[in-house]
Chain A
Amino acid sequence: DTEVTQTPKHLVMGMTNKKSLKCEQHMGHRAMYWYKQKAKKPPELMFVYSYEKLSINESVPSRFSPECPNSSLLNLHLHALQPEDSALYLCASSHSPPPDNEQFFGPGTRLTVL
């Protein structure tokens, strides 16, 4: 298994909803990442988990809450989002934590906040 999977593929939610994005990899990678990508823009790093511990939080608003329940899973819990949070949310993993940043990306979850 050499891929990163993300669910759901698409998500539409209201500003009062609570939802979660899920990411899974079975490559034995020990670092996992969340990125946010707006249309026609590069991915922006949100969080990095190394060995299941949060190692980088790029000053992301608290309405985004990451969770790494084990070495294969990464969740992003969403609550009270704003329309400007609509974007493609990409998960990635790498064999080792940074600086070895050869990252494998999932296909993304396209999030729309109404």
Chain B
Amino acid sequence: GEDVEQSLFLSVREGDSSVINCTYTDSSSTYLYWYKQEPGAGLQLLTYIFSNMDMKQDQRLTVLLNKKDKHLSLRIADTQTGDSAIYFCAESMRTGGFKTIFGAGTRLFVKA
């Protein structure tokens, strides 16, 4: 299947950590990505992880991959109001030629 699922909303207080979760179904996925989209804008690649890794850290961002459970998470430390956006989980998979499948997106609200 080609499903990538995410919860639709997350609300956190400024300074707290945010954890956005994603599940995917295709075990042939090679890369898994997190994109950020601010209102009226295109998507910005935040970070990605190769499917043979289980963790990647990049400044305030930590990606955890549980390949057995097909679960991906993005942790944002010290969340700021500027982090308010929609976060899309995506997987690159082989299906008649590689393509990227996006989840529905998680809207992150950061309260001051």
A→B interface (CB under 8 Å): 4, 6, 41-45, 48, 55-56, 58, 90, 92, 97-108, 110
Contacts and interface: CB of A to CB of B under 8 A. Distances in A.
A101 B102 contact: no
Mostly, the B contact residues are strand
Given A6-B42, A105-B43, A107-B42, 11 more contacts: A42-B102, A42-B104, A44-B102, A56-B97, A98-B99, A99-B94, A99-B98, A101-B99, A102-B45, A103-B100, A107-B41
Interface of B: 30-31, 33, 35, 40-45, 48, 88, 92, 94, 96-100, 102-105
Contact of A101 (B42, B43, B92, B96): B92
Contact of A102 (B48, B88, B99): B48
Contacts of A44: 102
Nearest to B95: A56
B33 A101 contact: yes
